[in-house]
Structure 1
């Protein structure tokens, strides 16, 4: 009987399947390519993001370039005009007339004044003689004399919104005073022509260090709606340019660029529609990173499917076929080689050839075994028939015997031949020609012995107790003949007229594969000769015990004679073809 092969559906991680191993190998093989692609894409995204940031800052600077130029021009004008005023400080009227003429000739100028270091206005295009020592601009200049740009909602003299450009004036290293030039606050110029593509969704606001708006270019939108929510403009003043994404006060996502225009005084902030910024924050970097990741995943899937179809599936089919081969299947479909690479087809071809060869050899062996069984059964049958013929001849001889002794001797010999005949009868009738059931064999031998024996006592009580033990011919023949001789002696010496006459036969299997044969019989005082006294039957019993390589025990106790043979049960003979008679 073939052993069924059981497969555990859950493989141990210590012994992963081929699919798992191939997936791991492909993953490791593609990992460097994936890492390189992701790193390069990330670096490209960071570079593009920096370029985008630089472009936004540059566009913001260009958009505010005209206003910056005007402010720088105002500062330069205040510096130049201040140097001219130094020569007219001794004549305030002449100085004031010169400044008035300068303002009149410059439509973009509102006021020009010179203020002493004490805060008194020395000369001016208008408002001469005012004391501005408590003016916020003057106080800032007193703490840190430098060029500054300030925004006033209402000028101290002009009373109109102005941008004031102030420069400290020195003579031979000594601070002489401060030159003020006021220009009107107005609307910023349009976006330069080279940035027309950026005009849509773009707005610009100029503000000072205090967060006060100087000028705007926001179209129809209010500046407040385009500025970042929850952020004060004063918090955006820095000495460097930067960009950042945020939501506007209107709740829309915008991208902002902040550029310092004049040192730490004037700044420009531009607001951009996010759709105009290709690499906007993390969103702009993560989106390009998705492509190489997807590419690596797709490559891994394609490679895995290819390996699965070309290697794993053919190997799995071969494994299944081998498992079925182990369970007894010998014929397989040629489709086992279909859709497989050349190497796998050669492997499948070799397996199919092996399976066909094994199937043919097994068929030949099975046919030879069938022929052998038929022949062996025929041999057993013919031997049994020949022994029956000998028994019949001996019957004829017994009927013609001259004396009772001669007749008894012939009957004993006939019983031995019949024992051999019964063995061969059981062999050719058995399912397995190489073995017989001891209980069936010995039951038939004893019954044949009692039925055919001429010395059966009157009132005999006979018992049989045989275990189901399988005997092979090398032991079945001596066991049958030993029971025949022992039974003949038991019937012979058990007495003829005693109602207590008993004979028992048993065969028991013990531990360690040992078997015990026991024959018991009662004895009477008029038994003609001692049982086991050395006659032919006794010598035959001893010979059969030696053939079984067994231990023979005999004895009598309380009128019961016991014969016991203990031997080891053997397996089938090594030649596997029956017995050695």
Structure 2
């Protein structure tokens, strides 16, 4: 699964280690588990919240319908009163109506005007601020509508034809105020059957802030007649949601529209906030609380333990005490087990280091004793040389003595190195070459020596045979080096890297033709050639010797791995 996740991150072009590590962390896993655990509760909360909001809206619409009915009750009573009053006026004689009209003007609530008019709209008798011309009644019975006067604005107007058919009667009462029981921000609009707004109570509200943006007033009137539904919720043209209720005052002619801002439970005036916000907040708060609890009880202590484990695994042997007093018992036991494990490991490492130092001291002492024994044997050989008279025997013992002293030099250099598991050839080889030259007194005879050694560390099982190989090659070159054309003899020794894991040892010395012929004979059957071939074979390498242009060149190729080099 983890491999599949890393492949997915590579497919997306993301760093596999960083992306998968961040998503596969304990905190993210805990968050996912808590999210799944709280998901049913969140869904139930969302459904319940939506149900509560829907019920609250229904109750709000029902309450608004009742409030609208209470608000238009004075208008309904006034309409009935106006119908009765205009019916009375329609039965009066224009000659005697002047005596009745003063009593009509004293009606409760007051009137704007009342009177009798001929068919052209000219007043025959009346009282109040009657307009100069009123339209004739289009129907035979009393009708109620809304008229607009310059001084009084929109008012209710009741019209009825006179009984003798010579004109019509008109009656306009004063508009009643809104009941004191209406809530704040409640607005009542009157509109006619054509959908035109006649007046609003209280005045001063813009139509865009109190009229629904969807259905028109004409649609509301038609819907009320067809479905009987008179309450709904809609957004206004200005944006906020409001509850609306429609009441029919005069059938097909006059309607009232009550509205107020939508009141949603838990939200108050912030009705535009999504219903899912509170369940989402509840889920988020629960998730944060669970995360804090997990962080306090588990995650923080795991991070401390993790840092200590990583530091110890990285080589830091200073184990600091971890404060896990408030951690669960399982984590405290784990931390205590870790501390016990580190103490055991530190004790084992201390014993191993002590054993290693003892072994290293014994190994150094072994190299030192081998060097002393070789020097002692070389001294015995030197005593024997003084008693031998034949040149052949002296030459054989001298060669043997040189090789023993060279081997003693190797052990002496190894004894002086700081690390016995590996030997730095760029520090070991110069000392060996210098010892050979001083023992032979080559520099006293004008020999010019040039050395070049690359910095390279070799294991002891390769460094010792290679040092013996160097000793034999340099000793042989010193024995056979000769000047050319009166120029001081030259000896060049180099050890450098080749291609791949290959290293190259090269020893070059000047020589004349006679010496070169003698040396060629030695390299075919002499002890030096046998030793060189033996050391090269032990190291899995190859060597070559060439003589050209007054120089004798010995080149040895070696591989640093355990596979033999192909010639």
Both proteins in one fold, TM over 0.5 = yes
Aligned 8 A contact 2:231 2:243 in 1: no
Alpha-carbon distance change, 443 to 259 in structure 1, aligned in 2, over 3 angstroms: closer
Question: Counterparts of 1:95-134 in structure 2 under 5 Å?
Answer: none
Partner of 1:507, secondary structure, is: strand
Partner of 1:514, secondary structure, is: strand
Is residue 546 from structure 1 mapped to residue 546 from structure 2 by the alignment?
Answer: no
Inter-partner Cα distance in structure 2 for 1:152 and 1:441:
123
Quote the offset at 1:163 in angstroms: 5.8
- What is the match of residue 249 of structure 2? 261
- What is the match of residue 507 of structure 2? 518
- What is the match of residue 507 of structure 1? 494
Partner of 2:461, secondary structure, is: helix
Aligned 8 A contact 2:144 2:156 in 1: no
Alpha-carbon distance change, 187 to 354 in structure 1, aligned in 2, over 3 angstroms: same
**Aligned with 2:451 (options 451, 462, 465):** 465
Partner of 2:525, secondary structure, is: coil
- What is the match of residue 408 of structure 1? 395
Aligned 8 A contact 2:385 2:397 in 1: yes
**Aligned with 1:283 (options 262, 269, 277):** 269
Quote the offset at 1:428 in angstroms: 0.9
Quote the offset at 1:298 in angstroms: 2.5
Inter-partner Cα distance in structure 1 for 2:440 and 2:451:
21
Quote the offset at 1:431 in angstroms: 1.7
- What is the match of residue 385 of structure 1? 372
Is residue 435 from structure 1 mapped to residue 422 from structure 2 by the alignment?
Answer: yes
Aligned 8 A contact 1:78 1:166 in 2: yes
Inter-partner Cα distance in structure 2 for 1:318 and 1:490:
64
Is residue 341 from structure 1 mapped to residue 347 from structure 2 by the alignment?
Answer: no
Inter-partner Cα distance in structure 1 for 2:184 and 2:411:
115
- What is the match of residue 22 of structure 2? 16
Quote the offset at 1:69 in angstroms: 4.6
- What is the match of residue 47 of structure 1? 55
**Aligned with 1:368 (options 337, 352, 355):** 355
**Aligned with 1:60 (options 64, 68, 75):** 68
Inter-partner Cα distance in structure 2 for 1:302 and 1:460:
89
**Superimposed CA distance per residue, residues 430-489 of structure 1 (whole angstroms, 9 cap, x where no aligned partner):** 1221333445444443443344349x7984524242413444443444344444444454
- What is the match of residue 303 of structure 2? 316
Quote the offset at 1:425 in angstroms: 0.3
Aligned 8 A contact 2:484 2:511 in 1: no
Aligned 8 A contact 2:483 2:512 in 1: no
Inter-partner Cα distance in structure 2 for 1:243 and 1:355:
75
Aligned length: 498
- What is the match of residue 461 of structure 2? 474
C-alpha root-mean-square deviation of aligned residues, in Å? 5.6
Partner of 1:320, secondary structure, is: helix
Inter-partner Cα distance in structure 2 for 1:182 and 1:266:
18
Inter-partner Cα distance in structure 2 for 1:180 and 1:434:
132
**Any gaps of 5 or more consecutive residues in structure 2?**
1-13, 127-132, 150-154, 225-229, 237-241
**Any gaps of 5 or more consecutive residues in structure 1?**
1-7, 86-91, 121-125, 128-133, 155-160, 170-175, 214-222, 248-253, 573-581
Quote the offset at 1:418 in angstroms: 0.7
Partner of 2:435, secondary structure, is: helix
**Superimposed CA distance per residue, residues 47-106 of structure 1 (whole angstroms, 9 cap, x where no aligned partner):** 334423332332332354365356447768999999xx9xxxxxx99xx99xx99x999x
Inter-partner Cα distance in structure 2 for 1:542 and 1:201:
113
- TM-score after normalising by structure 2: 0.66
Aligned 8 A contact 1:148 1:167 in 2: no
Larger Rg: 1
Inter-partner Cα distance in structure 2 for 1:211 and 1:556:
124
Alpha-carbon distance change, 24 to 177 in structure 1, aligned in 2, over 3 angstroms: farther
- TM-score after normalising by structure 1: 0.65
Aligned 8 A contact 1:515 1:569 in 2: no
